[in-house]
């Protein structure tokens, strides 16, 4: 009978085959496995299965209500991951073979690796097939010798039962909390109608809480004035700067803004300045050597933080690049790791890696690798090689394979990892640090000024980053996180006993600043160190090695928060939205803050660790999770939405009905009836929802809406069916209650423009863009629409025309210039940023006036060799699409369009001459247009220039860059670019 070995990834399966072949015989390679007389070796590709509730408990979104909660199924079914179904089938086929007598779990050494294998075995032996004996291969090093030794000491299935229980429990508990928490909060927020998706999760929500807490600190921060005194001192050798400080200062735990150099009184700063001005001062100083070791090797989180700080890469982008360098180029080791050390038997591999770099065609790396080898610096060190600190995987380092053609972004990331790998073996950087205290004495009082000097004596590992001289010690190569060091500078010498004289004094009036918003780099660091936020010592210890999420999932958590509009990217800052603040208010108000604090993860990690050691039963843990889930749902069911407590704003804009004061509560902005300076009343009844169509309206947006009666267009609304849409919000007078206002959506497709004297006056002041295609009068911009001047009633004449077209159509801005072209020539230029309501995909078209339809329609460019596409009509007034366009379907129109397209069509060969840039890629020509595109695509596919993560993105190499004029373009732009290079 044969032994089936199941690894977690194909690359590990190959490593196992290479290690076993010398002792077990040659393996034959098949499509999905390797095989010899003794072993069958195959692999998963990460998780092949996911848990799901049985069908009876799988409540669909339309039924997300408290009536169906909590969802606590008696057991969990398994569902294949859609994109890896074929791989699962291949692995299961091998497991069920009659000549396979036992299985070896060779998945990664950790909780997730155990879960991946256990789910595969459960699925393969589901009652219809008898289970087979299982043993565990536990590896922390992937050298051939370590793999062979691992097969010599396989662990029994019973030994791994605790880890297996912990893995299943963590997975099922996350499901229970995520599903029930999300559905309970969604049901709570959707009670007033509509569907307001409110996602929560054990990792996602505490991560969001970190960002929201920081934003609240920023919002509540009150700037405080303080002063610093800076002085210039003149010595025999020249002048130097110093800053006043209090040598007796002690940290105040109640006031984090206090510093030894800060003065909280302008008078005191003035007294110090007066006391030191022009004085002879004594000097004492201390110079001592200092060393600085290189940072540790990269794990995924530290790599993501470094790449974000240095290049602005998002965590998701860094992971994708690292995965490409690992899978496609075989140039980096496995990236989804949380370890920054190497196994102790990896020293020979490290030397071989240096030899590869020294012989590579990368001169910026080769010289440093040669130096390290020549100096004998590649040697064992506990700072680099430590089995106790290697978890499921070891640190990210270059492999023995030199990379081939890399994209610019891939090259940047590879260089980052390669430099860090070499740097840990290099000697420490050596500095000479000088601290100089200059003291001025006046009227018996001593005033101290500090000056710091730092000189790079030996660059050591900094040489890898270009730090060869003192002036370069703060150059761009410095790793992120060390930029807070004092700028390298030397102080002019002062002789022993020399008195210096004050030359100038500068009093600087400053203000305290709020803490900085999180970037992806700092948020990843906060997630990694989330255990520090926990007071309980046992829970903090349980999270010490874990944090929030894992290196492999943190990028996805951040992207999920961005996708759900809980956060926005502004430059490199992550800014929480009103939706995020509202969620935190709800969780605090419902007293279910365990969902928003890292304590929950700490408690789980402590209990799962006990389960791994056999000290806690899985059934007991899952019972506790079910009880907690039921309590969360019960809290949400019991609470009154109108009285959720929170830190709510009072708006400055007045109530449009009565002029009273508007206050925020959990779900609405409502009139309190209290005028400024007056007495509080019951309110006039005016209020607007904070979440129209599932989009949270922020306080500034509500202020603008109340003040201007209109805001937008705004994105992020969702219809009852869940489709996203864009619209303006308006406060419109209620026809059934004159003088009262209500909230309405404006899609820009109402008939005539607002008939008010103000509208007529505003329209009269606007320049004409061209003649109205209906009546010949002037078309002008009014609000967010282009309208005929005859569409607005005046005191002299009623409205007589209904021409109106939006300034935004299907999310495509229509400029005044383009509207002018439509009015004067009948059509606009080709516009390429329309977004289909049906498919949500971008498309290009012209806007044209159709006299037959009496409206503005889409006109599409004919595609060569294809039937001409019919024009699509569109009602002219549309400003921001709410309805799909109608199709003109007459056969005569289609035939006419086709004939016109064929008449204009360029011959396929012999007439189009490429530019020099295009000819460098496809040859000198002449060509037909179709032939040009075919040759371009042949070149792109032959050189693998489609982004592996997004096939619609094309990557420029040296030949394509002059053509693209960019490093990357979308594939739909290729035809337009090629057209510009043909004559």
Do residues 779 and 789 lie in contact, with contact meaning Cβ atoms separated by under 8 Å?
Answer: yes
For the record, the structure tokens of 938 come out as: 């042949």
**CB within 8 Å of 333: residues ≥ 6 apart:** 326, 393, 394, 395, 396, 397, 398, 399
pLDDT at 381: 93
What share of the chain in percent tops pLDDT 70?
Answer: 85
For the record, the structure tokens of 398 come out as: 């270059």
pLDDT at 469: 36
Mean pLDDT of the region 504-518: 94
44: nearest Cα among 9, 3, 81, 4 = 9
517: nearest Cα among 70, 815, 217 = 217
Alpha helices in 519-617 (DSSP H): 520-528, 537-542, 551-563, 578-589, 599-612
pLDDT at 108: 87
CA gap 322, 182 in Å, rounded: 32
CA gap 636, 626 in Å, rounded: 16
- Give the model's confidence band at 922: pLDDT under 50 very low, under 70 low, under 90 confident, else very high: confident
Mean pLDDT of the region 138-144: 81
pLDDT at 675: 54
Half-sphere exposure of residue 832, counting CA atoms within 13 Å on the CB side?
7
pLDDT at 894: 46
CB atoms within 10 A of CB 256: 10
Do residues 65 and 91 lie in contact, with contact meaning Cβ atoms separated by under 8 Å?
Answer: no
Mean pLDDT of the region 121-150: 88
What pLDDT digit, counting tens, does each position of 637-658 carry? 887 666 687 888 899 998 988 8
The answer, yes or no, to whether residue 870 has pLDDT greater than 80, is no
346: nearest Cα among 411, 297, 301 = 297
| DSSP code of residue 339 | -
What pLDDT digit, counting tens, does each position of 714-727 carry? 877 766 655 667 78
Rg for the chain, CA atoms, rounded: 35
pLDDT at 592: 84
300: nearest Cα among 476, 528, 473, 98 = 528
CA distances from 475 to 306, 452, 481, 484 (A): 15, 19, 13, 13
Beta strands in 208-362 (DSSP E): 225-235, 238-245, 280-292
| DSSP code of residue 892 | H
Average pLDDT, the chain: 83
Name the active-site residue from 226, 240, 334, 431.
334
Q: Is 334 a catalytic residue?
A: yes
Cis check for the bond before 713: say yes or no (omega within 30 of 0).
yes
pLDDT at 895: 45
pLDDT at 944: 80
Phi (first) and psi of residue 125, to 5 degrees = -115, 75
**CB within 8 Å of 895: residues ≥ 6 apart:** none
CA gap 327, 556 in Å, rounded: 19
Alpha helices in 2-53 (DSSP H): 10-24
Do residues 221 and 213 lie in contact, with contact meaning Cβ atoms separated by under 8 Å?
Answer: no
Task: Scan for tokens 């700490």, then name that residue.
Answer: 602
What share of the chain in percent tops pLDDT 90?
Answer: 42
What pLDDT digit, counting tens, does each position of 217-269 carry? 888 888 999 999 999 999 999 999 999 999 999 999 889 899 999 999 999 99
pLDDT at 486: 37
Which SS3 state, helix, strand or coil, does residue 77 take? strand
pLDDT at 722: 53
pLDDT at 899: 46
CA gap 496, 235 in Å, rounded: 12
Segment of 519-523, 687-691, 882-886 carrying the highest mean pLDDT: 519-523
The answer, yes or no, to whether residue 17 has pLDDT greater than 90, is yes
pLDDT at 107: 93
pLDDT at 84: 92
Q: What residues does 282 pair with on adjacent strands?
A: 439
SS3 percent helix, strand, coil of the chain, rounded to 5, is: 40, 25, 40
Q: How many residues does the chain have?
A: 983
CA gap 880, 746 in Å, rounded: 9
For the record, the structure tokens of 519 come out as: 């970037």
Element (H, E) at 812: strand 812-813
What pLDDT digit, counting tens, does each position of 397-449 carry? 999 989 888 999 999 999 999 999 999 999 999 999 999 999 999 988 999 99
Phi (first) and psi of residue 678, to 5 degrees = -100, -165
What pLDDT digit, counting tens, does each position of 756-810 carry? 456 677 777 788 899 999 888 899 988 778 888 888 777 677 778 888 888 888 8
653: nearest Cα among 696, 688, 681 = 688
What pLDDT digit, counting tens, does each position of 456-479 carry? 889 999 999 886 433 333 333 333
Pairing label, strands 2-7, 100-106: parallel
- Give the model's confidence band at 533: pLDDT under 50 very low, under 70 low, under 90 confident, else very high: low
What pLDDT digit, counting tens, does each position of 2-15 carry? 999 999 989 899 99
pLDDT at 758: 60
- Give the model's confidence band at 813: pLDDT under 50 very low, under 70 low, under 90 confident, else very high: confident
pLDDT at 350: 95
What pLDDT digit, counting tens, does each position of 352-366 carry? 999 999 999 899 999
Cis check for the bond before 926: say yes or no (omega within 30 of 0).
yes
- Give the model's confidence band at 932: pLDDT under 50 very low, under 70 low, under 90 confident, else very high: confident
- The gap between the terminal CA atoms of the chain, to the nearest Å, is 70
Tell how far CA 582 is from the center of its chain.
Answer: 21
User: pTM of the predicted model, to two decimals?
Assistant: 0.66
pLDDT at 951: 67
For the record, the structure tokens of 254 come out as: 């109640």
The answer, yes or no, to whether residue 682 has pLDDT greater than 90, is no
Mean pLDDT of the region 308-322: 91
**CB within 8 Å of 545: residues ≥ 6 apart:** 338, 391
pLDDT at 116: 95
**CB within 8 Å of 772: residues ≥ 6 apart:** 778, 779, 788, 789, 790, 801, 803, 823
For the record, the structure tokens of 466 come out as: 């270009």
pLDDT at 248: 93
pLDDT at 535: 59
The answer, yes or no, to whether residue 95 has pLDDT greater than 90, is yes
DSSP for 150-182, please give it.
Answer: HHHTPEETGGGHHHHHHHHHHHHHHHHHHHHHH
């Amino acid at each position: 009978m044969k032994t089936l070995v199941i690894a977690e990834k194909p690359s590990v399966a190959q490593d196992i085959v290479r290690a076993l072949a010398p002792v077990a015989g040659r393996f034959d390679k098949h499509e999905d496995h390797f095989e010899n007389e003794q072993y069958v070796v195959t692999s998963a590709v990460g998780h092949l299965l996911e848990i799901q509730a049985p069908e009876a408990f799988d409540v669909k979104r339309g039924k997300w209500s408290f009536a169906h909660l909590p969802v606590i199924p008696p057991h969990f079914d398994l569902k294949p991951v859609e994109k890896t179904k074929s791989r699962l089938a291949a692995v299961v086929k091998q497991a069920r073979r009659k000549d396979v007598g036992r299985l070896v779990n060779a998945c990664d050494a950790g909780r997730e690796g155990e879960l991946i294998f256990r789910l595969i075995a459960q699925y393969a032996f589901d009652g219809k097939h008898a289970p087979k004996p299982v043993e565990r291969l536990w590896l922390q090093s992937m050298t051939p010798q370590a793999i062979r030794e691992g097969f010599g000491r396989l662990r029994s299935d019973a030994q791994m039962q605790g880890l297996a229980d912990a893995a299943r429990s963590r997975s099922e508990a996350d499901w229970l909390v995520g599903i029930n928490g999300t559905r309970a909060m969604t049901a709570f927020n959707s009670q007033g109608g509509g569907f307001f998706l409110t996602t929560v999760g054990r990792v996602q929500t505490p991560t969001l809480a970190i960002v929201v807490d920081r934003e609240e600190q920023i919002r509540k921060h009150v700037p405080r004035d303080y002063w610093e005194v800076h002085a210039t001192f003149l010595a025999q050798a020249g002048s130097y700067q110093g800053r006043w400080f209090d040598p007796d200062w002690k940290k105040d735990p109640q006031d984090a803004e206090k510093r030894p150099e800060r003065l909280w009184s302008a008078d005191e700063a003035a007294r110090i300045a007066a006391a030191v001005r022009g004085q002879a001062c004594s000097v004492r100083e201390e110079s001592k050597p200092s060393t600085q070791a290189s940072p540790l090797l990269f794990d995924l989180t530290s790599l993501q933080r470094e790449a974000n700080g240095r290049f602005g890469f998002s965590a998701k982008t860094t992971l994708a690049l690292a995965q490409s360098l690992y899978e496609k180029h075989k140039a980096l080791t496995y990236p989804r790791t949380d370890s920054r050390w190497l196994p102790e038997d990896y020293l020979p591999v490290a030397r071989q890696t240096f030899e590869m770099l020294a012989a590579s065609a990368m001169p910026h790396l080769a010289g440093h690798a040669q130096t390290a080898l020549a100096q004998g610096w590649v040697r064992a060190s506990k700072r680099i090689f430590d089995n106790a600190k290697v978890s499921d995987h070891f640190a990210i380092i270059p492999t023995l394979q030199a990379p081939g053609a890399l994209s610019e972004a891939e090259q940047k990331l590879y260089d980052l990892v390669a430099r860090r790998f070499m740097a840990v073996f290099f000697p420490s950087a050596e500095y000479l640090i000088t601290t100089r205290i200059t003291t001025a004495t006046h009227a018996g009082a001593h005033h101290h000024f500090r000056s710091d000097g730092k000189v790079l004596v030996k660059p050591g590992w900094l040489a890898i980053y270009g730090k060869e001289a003192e002036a370069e010690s703060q150059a761009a190569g410095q790793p992120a996180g060390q930029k807070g060091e004092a700028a390298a500078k030397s102080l002019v010498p002062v002789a022993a006993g020399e008195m210096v004289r004050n030359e100038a004094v500068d009093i600087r009036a400053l203000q305290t600043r709020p803490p900085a918003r999180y970037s992806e780099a700092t948020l990843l660091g906060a997630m990694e160190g989330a255990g520090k936020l926990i007071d309980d010592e046992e829970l903090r210890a349980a999270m010490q090695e874990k944090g929030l999420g894992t290196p492999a999932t943190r990028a996805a958590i951040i992207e999920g928060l961005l996708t759900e509009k809980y956060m926005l990217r502004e430059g490199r800052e992550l800014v929480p939205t009103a939706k995020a603040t509202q969620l935190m208010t709800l969780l605090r108000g419902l007293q279910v803050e365990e969902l928003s604090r890292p304590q929950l993860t700490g408690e789980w990690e402590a209990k799962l660790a006990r389960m791994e050691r056999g000290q806690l039963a899985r059934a007991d843990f899952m019972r506790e999770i079910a009880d907690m889930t039921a309590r969360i749902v019960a809290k949400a069911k019991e609470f009154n939405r109108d009285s959720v407590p929170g830190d709510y704003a009072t708006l400055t804009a007045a109530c449009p009905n009565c002029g009273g004061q508007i206050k925020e509560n959990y779900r609405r902005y409502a009139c309190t009836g209290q005028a400024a300076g007056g007495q509080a009343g019951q309110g006039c009844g005016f209020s607007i929802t904070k979440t129209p169509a599932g989009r949270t309206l922020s306080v500034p947006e509500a202020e603008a809406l109340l003040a201007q009666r209109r805001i937008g267009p705004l994105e992020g609304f969702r219809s009852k069916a869940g489709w996203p849409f864009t619209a303006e919000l308006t406060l419109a007078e209620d026809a059934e209650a004159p003088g009262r206002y209500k909230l309405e959506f404006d899609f820009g497709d109402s008939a005539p423009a607002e008939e008010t004297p103000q509208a007529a006056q505003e329209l009269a002041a606007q320049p004409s863009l061209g003649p109205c295609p209906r009546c010949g009068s002037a078309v002008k911009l009014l609000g967010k629409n282009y309208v005929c001047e005859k569409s607005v009633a005046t005191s002299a004449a009623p409205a007589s025309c209904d021409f109106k077209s939006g300034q935004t159509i299907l999310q495509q801005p229509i400029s005044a210039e383009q509207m002018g072209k439509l009015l004067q020539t009948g059509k606009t230029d080709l516009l390429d940023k329309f977004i289909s309501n049906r498919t949500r995909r971008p498309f290009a078209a012209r806007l044209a006036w159709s006299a037959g339809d009496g409206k503005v329609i889409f006109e599409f460019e004919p595609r060569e060799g294809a039937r001409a596409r019919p024009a699509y009509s569109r009602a002219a007034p549309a400003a921001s699409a709410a309805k799909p366009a109608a199709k003109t379907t007459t056969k005569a129109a289609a035939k006419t369009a086709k004939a016109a397209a064929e008449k204009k069509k360029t011959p396929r060969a012999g007439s189009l001459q490429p530019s020099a840039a295009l000819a460098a890629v496809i040859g000198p020509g002449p060509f037909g247009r179709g032939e040009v595109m075919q040759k371009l695509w042949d070149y792109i596919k032959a050189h693998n220039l489609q982004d592996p993560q997004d096939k619609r993105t094309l990557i420029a190499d040296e030949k394509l860059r002059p053509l693209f004029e960019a490093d990357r373009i979308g594939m739909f732009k290729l035809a337009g670019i090629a057209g510009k290079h043909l004559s």
